[in-house]
Amino acid sequence: MKKIITILGARPQFVKGAVLSRIIKEHNEIEEIIIHTGQHYDTNMSAVFFEEMEIPKPKYNLDINGLSHGAMTGQMLEKIEAVLKDEKPDAVVIYGDTNSTIAGALAAKKMHIKVIHIEAGLRSFNMKMPEEINRILTDRISDLLLCPTDTAIKNLQQEGYSNLPINIVKAGDIMKDAVLYYSKTSSAKAKIYFKLNLKKEDFILATIHRQENTDDLDKLKSIFEALEEIHKETPVVLPLHPRTKAILEKNNLKYNITTIQPVGYFDMLELLKNCKMVISDSGGLQKEAFFNRKNVIIARDETEWVELVDNGFAIITGANKEKIKQAYRYFKDKKNDFSVNLYGDNVGETMYQEIKKIL
């Protein structure tokens, strides 16, 4: 039996990994071993996802977190390499654009193990983003690039990938499979939405965590001031990322919005299902909002998911307070048609079949 190692480290990767792990288990043709790097180590950011989503328990937990980019990536590279030496897999599967992603890709490639990159080809064209560096380098050293959109394919073609011995496939977005599958049971397992006594489509779900916003106090203040003003008219609920919480507390910044602890996937799904719209600097949440038929205000200067903007489901505002408020007013009474298929169908199964071909 062929063997793959899947490397997970951050919340979106747990969600995507759950879909593929379930399909691998159903086919029973490939052995999957999971490494959890520990990049997201908070219980609500990590452990709860494995429990709720029935992801196979990681065989290896590297417990690497809370370090600088260089130290974190270096330690991951060293420890992943040691696991690969012991396990001798046929391929390594990595997701997205985190330090766990690039560390896994580097470790595997230098040992001549095939690298499969899920969510390949995405670009923000902002080289100040650590994620942009990770995704570009990972794509270049991968053997199979499973792309979510036509835009991702086009990005790779423009970078000359057509001339490289790399398999490029438009597979769709595996996050869609996760939303469709887990939405069936989320209301029975979620708690926060009901505890907060919220009214359906009468609150805004917000998340702010990217370093470009949290590490720039002017940007952080601008975003939270906008949220506070919007909250006076429509309640704003914000699961508070540990990094954002620490910076707010360090600078004694307090805002009159509803903040809650980070939530598990089912709680997030219920909040998404029932909110009016989303304000976020998250990449994954932009699509999850779309899959739940919600418009999204993107508190960044760019997005990898340009099709959401092009089709009127999202507005980019950056950290600009007035632009955020303006976008809120625009979407407040906006009814969009979410029936357009931007991200494929049966994505996990498509990916599984492509992975099988290169093993």
Known catalytic residues?
Answer: 209
**Sign of the four-CA dihedral 86, 90, 96, 99:** positive
Query: 21 is written with which tokens?
Result: 């792990």
Contact 71, 98 (CB under 8 A): no
What is the distance in angstroms between the CA of the first residue and the CA of the last residue of the chain? 10
Cβ density class 279-308: b for 16+ within 10 Å, e for less? bbbbbbbbbbbbbbebbbbbbbbebbbbbb
Of residues 356, 357, 359, 352, the one with CA closest to residue 118: 352
Which residues touch 246 (CB under 8 Å, ≥6 apart)? none
User: Taking each helix axis from N to C terminus, what angle separates 284-291 and 174-189, rounded to the nearest 10 degrees?
Assistant: 70
**Alpha helix positions (H), 61-202:** 69-87, 99-110, 130-140, 150-158, 174-189, 192-195
**Sign of the four-CA dihedral 318, 324, 330, 334:** positive
Of residues 326, 266, 261, 271, the one with CA closest to residue 297: 326
Of residues 121, 107, 127, the one with CA closest to residue 167: 121
Contact 270, 321 (CB under 8 A): no
Kindly state the DSSP code that residue 128 receives in the 8-state scheme. Answer: T
CA 234 to each of CA 205, 223, 251: distance values in angstroms, whole numbers, following the listed order: 10, 16, 26
Of residues 176, 297, 158, the one with CA closest to residue 227: 297
